[in-house]
Amino acid sequence: MPNDQPANTPVQGPSPPLAEANQPTTPAGTVSAASQVQELFEYNDHQLGILERALSTDRLAPYYVQARGDSWVAIRLYECNTKLSEALYGVVQALEVLLRNKIHSQLEAHTGVADWYDRVRFLDPERNEVENAKRSIADRGVSVTPGRVVAELNFGFWLRLFSGQYEKEFWVKHLRKLYSATRQRKAVHDRLMQIKTLRNRIAHHETLIRRNPQKDYRDLLEAIGWLSQIVPAWVKTTNCFEARFAERIPKKAKDEPPAASHVAHSGSQTPSNLDLYKQMLAVALEEARLGFDEGGIPIGAALFTRDGRLVSRGRNRRVQQNDPSVHGETDAFRAAGRQRSYRDLVMVTTLAPCWYCSGLVRQFRIGTLVVGESRTFPGGLDWLREHGVEVIDLDSRECRELLEAFIQRHPEVWNEDIGEE
Ligand SMILES: [Zn+2]
């Protein structure tokens, strides 16, 4: 398999961590490629047990959910997650470097000076970040050059230059010249925001298991393509994401013992349905937080298959899209496209559904409804229960606090959403 090698990993050279762990059972001199090494690792019960303890059950929990409790599959999924994260991070980095350098060149050309960041009108947070960047460069004992300052500023800084508050100062004057005439500021901002969330997940070694990494990859390439025609082609030929994604779903070797023995082996670690529902809620909550960051009503939702495969996700975008029909549930429902049947799907939402969305659950006969909370708003839960929908209320404090924070700041938007006059 020649193309499962990341572009920057030499075939001969220092061994990756897995190779070290495996060396005692490998005849000297035969370790040459990472893929070979991984095939040689023996996933027996003893070694799996050691890995489980080394990685911690907490960390592995989402993989157990996906693997339905099977240690072998869970560990392989964890490995896949690491590989996909590595690959995606390379693409994120390409975008980040391209973006800041494009902005730098544009501003330099327009202002006629390389240290343009000292001439433009920044708001306090961005001004402070520039000053902090200069300070940390100086603290390293090197001279403060424009190139270093630009490289020191983080992704969040560049992203905020696309926000509404910099519309006049940056978008109209400079940034829109980097994009085609039809590209809207908000579309660029939203995409960069989505990429920042992905970037943070990877940087903090969080799982991508509930995201759609293929879509993340496509969206990243597209965002790079908005700025350059050459760079996406270069990324596509040198990045290993596609190859890694293609081999992503681990197949059990024929001589592996059946899954049941692993389930017995991992015993109490097998997550119950409740754990599964909590994992699902985490996705809806992520959507709600995204909505909150966008200035919208923080209600998120997602559709899953019963065994925890994500079908789609969405969030309330009444404010963002000026559309009162975009509730978390309807957004996720529309993103799922046409489904043959909804009976075996689970709708999960951070807040009990309103009448409109309760109607949707019944109309399409969605079998199970998981809600984050129903204290802020009781919705149609009793009505749905009466009509045979399985309803699970997780009474999540996180969901409640997020929504309450919004209601406190924008009571009028909230009343509008629930139809109070
Ligand atoms: Zn609704």
pLDDT per residue rounded down to tens, the chain (421 residues): 334 333 443 333 333 333 333 333 334 434 444 444 445 678 888 888 889 889 887 888 888 877 777 888 888 889 889 999 999 999 999 999 999 999 999 999 999 999 999 999 999 999 999 999 999 999 999 999 999 999 999 999 999 999 999 999 999 999 999 999 999 999 999 999 999 999 999 998 888 877 888 889 999 999 999 999 999 999 998 998 988 887 755 555 433 433 332 322 223 323 468 888 998 999 999 999 999 988 999 999 999 998 888 999 999 999 999 999 999 999 999 999 998 899 889 999 999 999 999 999 999 999 999 999 999 888 899 999 988 899 999 999 999 999 998 998 888 888 888 877 6
Measured CA angle at 288 (ends 286, 291), to 5 deg: 115
349 CA to centre of ligand 1 in angstroms: 10
User: How many Cα atoms are found within 13 Å in the side-chain-facing hemisphere of 306?
Assistant: 8
Question: What pLDDT score was predicted for residue 273?
Answer: 80
Burial of 223 (0-12, 13-18, 19+ CB in 10 A): buried
289 CA to centre of ligand 1 in angstroms: 17
Q: Which two tokens stand for residue 63?
A: 């993989």
Question: What pLDDT score was predicted for residue 252?
Answer: 57
325 CA to centre of ligand 1 in angstroms: 8
118 CA to centre of ligand 1 in angstroms: 47
Q: Element (H or E) spanning 262, and its range?
A: helix 259-266
369 CA to centre of ligand 1 in angstroms: 13
Closest CA to 183 of 208, 207, 162: 162
313 CA to centre of ligand 1 in angstroms: 14
Residues labelled as active-site residues: 329
Q: What is the pTM of this model?
A: 0.54
Partner residues linked to 301 by β-bridges: 314, 349
Q: Which two tokens stand for residue 374?
A: 């129903």
Please count the residues of the chain: 421
